[in-house]
Amino acid sequence: MTTDLSIIIVDDMQFSRAVLKQALQKGGYTDLRLAESANVCLEMLNERCADVVLADWVMPEMNGLELTNAIRQFDEERNRYTAVILFTGREGNEAMQEAFERGIDDYLTKPVDEVELAARVFAAGRIATLQNTLLETASALSAANAHLEELTTTDSLTGLGNRRYLTKQLEDHLLESHNRGGGVCLGLIDVDKFADLNDQYGHDVGDEVLVGLARRLRRAVRPTDIVVRTGSDEFGVIMHFTENNPIRASVFERVVASVSQRSIQTSEGEVPVTISMGVACYTGDKSQPISDVQQMMMAADERLYKAKEAGRNRVFSE
């Protein structure tokens, strides 16, 4: 029989607490805490969780059923399970039914038989252990899934979102603009002559440039704007605007200028960098079909190509 359970005995009568403690000690249980009230029990749970709570039904201030409700709330907030056994002098099926409907795990009538008590505590402890194992497993799986989701939407080099993240965010922003008004602008960015930069400085320095560029882009836009790395030397920016405060072309021109105004510091010294940008915007007109993500990205990409054709280090938004 498992005897390493953490148990709290709750009873306003000192004698009853002592009797229950002695009976459980005979059964081999050693982690026993005694509480003279429900409030003291909750304080104990807050300090250290328990596997099983043995509580008297009838107590002043907060009775056993009210304590059970508080424990269930406690468990919900901490993602764990505490087994609750109530004991009382009340007899009859109605009392038992009420107790189980209120969320207890077991029910004992006074006077409590020592053998029956040990057996019921063991069963309740097994329930708590199984439930907590399931909760821990579910929590671990949830954390693992969240980590995998982060890996699939995050660029490992810069820490920015990746192309998948851009697609999802653009889809959400387009839908919000269509339903609530305002608009969305997508800027696709390409580092000018990045292949030449890699040939001249090496790929490690090229990576340093990309990291530095990511930081510079992040500082060049508003905190609410989204910056992502969509490819080797390609980045994207999503900007949302309201009907009363539309985004002007000068906003994107400032982003491009902020990158080229000074070189990026690397382990091999300062490296001059310029970028080109193509911009596509959706106005959020409810009378028109919502813009498709792929169509918007194709439009921004075509304008990026035109910006490069026009001499690089510039924005093309029309």
Q: For residue range 82-101, what is the model confidence (pLDDT) as tens digits?
A: 999 998 876 667 777 877 88
Q: Do the domain assignments include residue 1?
A: no
**Tens of pLDDT, residues 250-270:** 888 889 998 888 899 999 999
> From start to end of the chain, where are the E strands?
6-10, 31-35, 52-56, 83-88, 106-109, 183-191, 226-229, 234-241, 264-266, 269-271, 275-282, 315-316
Tell me the backbone φ, ψ of residue 290, rounded to 5 degrees: -65, 140
Q: So what's the pLDDT on residue 177?
A: 86
Q: So what's the pLDDT on residue 146?
A: 63
What number is the average pLDDT over the span 287-302?
Answer: 84
Same domain (yes/no): 240, 186 = yes
Same domain (yes/no): 168, 309 = yes
Same domain (yes/no): 125, 202 = no
Q: Mean of the per-residue pLDDT values for the chain?
A: 87
Task: Identify the residue whose tokens are 């009230």.
Answer: 37
**Tens of pLDDT, residues 205-233:** 999 999 999 999 998 888 889 999 999 99
**Tens of pLDDT, residues 51-94:** 999 999 889 889 999 999 999 989 988 889 999 999 887 666 77
Q: Do the domain assignments include residue 156?
A: no
Task: Identify the residue whose tokens are 């269509």.
Answer: 178
Same domain (yes/no): 194, 298 = yes
Same domain (yes/no): 178, 310 = yes
Whole-angstrom distance, CA of residue 48 vs CA of residue 45: 5
> Is residue 50 a contact partner of residue 33, using CB atoms and an 8 Å limit?
yes
What number is the average pLDDT over the span 163-176?
Answer: 89
For residue 160, pLDDT over 60 is answered with yes
Q: So what's the pLDDT on residue 278?
A: 94
Give the pTM: 0.56
Check which CATH number belongs to the domain holding 267 and give it.
Answer: 3.30.70.270
Same domain (yes/no): 179, 310 = yes
For residue 32, pLDDT over 60 is answered with yes
Q: So what's the pLDDT on residue 22?
A: 92
Q: Do the domain assignments include residue 108?
A: yes
Q: How far is residue 27 from each of residues 3, 20, 30, 59, 119, measured CA to CA in Å?
A: 8, 11, 9, 26, 9
The residue among 83, 118, 148 that closes a domain is: 148
Q: 139 falls in which pLDDT band (50, 70, 90)?
A: confident
Q: Do the domain assignments include residue 74?
A: yes
> Is residue 227 a contact partner of residue 214, using CB atoms and an 8 Å limit?
yes
How many domains does the chain divide into? Answer: 2
Q: Do the domain assignments include residue 240?
A: yes
The residue among 121, 148, 175 that closes a domain is: 148
Q: Do the domain assignments include residue 258?
A: yes
What number is the average pLDDT over the span 133-153?
Answer: 72
Same domain (yes/no): 252, 173 = yes
> Is residue 181 a contact partner of residue 283, using CB atoms and an 8 Å limit?
no
Q: So what's the pLDDT on residue 47?
A: 94
For residue 2, pLDDT over 60 is answered with no
Same domain (yes/no): 94, 177 = no
> Is residue 59 a contact partner of residue 10, using CB atoms and an 8 Å limit?
yes
Same domain (yes/no): 184, 265 = yes
Q: So what's the pLDDT on residue 107?
A: 86
Q: So what's the pLDDT on residue 260?
A: 86
Instruction: Provide the domain limits for residue 296.
Output: 163-316
Same domain (yes/no): 288, 238 = yes
Q: Do the domain assignments include residue 153?
A: no
What number is the average pLDDT over the span 106-116?
Answer: 86
Q: Do the domain assignments include residue 155?
A: no
Q: What percentage of the chain has pLDDT greater than the value 70?
A: 92
Q: 138 falls in which pLDDT band (50, 70, 90)?
A: confident
Q: So what's the pLDDT on residue 179?
A: 83
Q: So what's the pLDDT on residue 148?
A: 56
The residue among 148, 171, 191 that closes a domain is: 148
For residue 3, pLDDT over 70 is answered with no
Q: So what's the pLDDT on residue 182?
A: 83
Same domain (yes/no): 138, 196 = no
Angle in degrees, 0-180, between the axes of helices 38-47 and 64-78, rounded to the nearest 10: 20
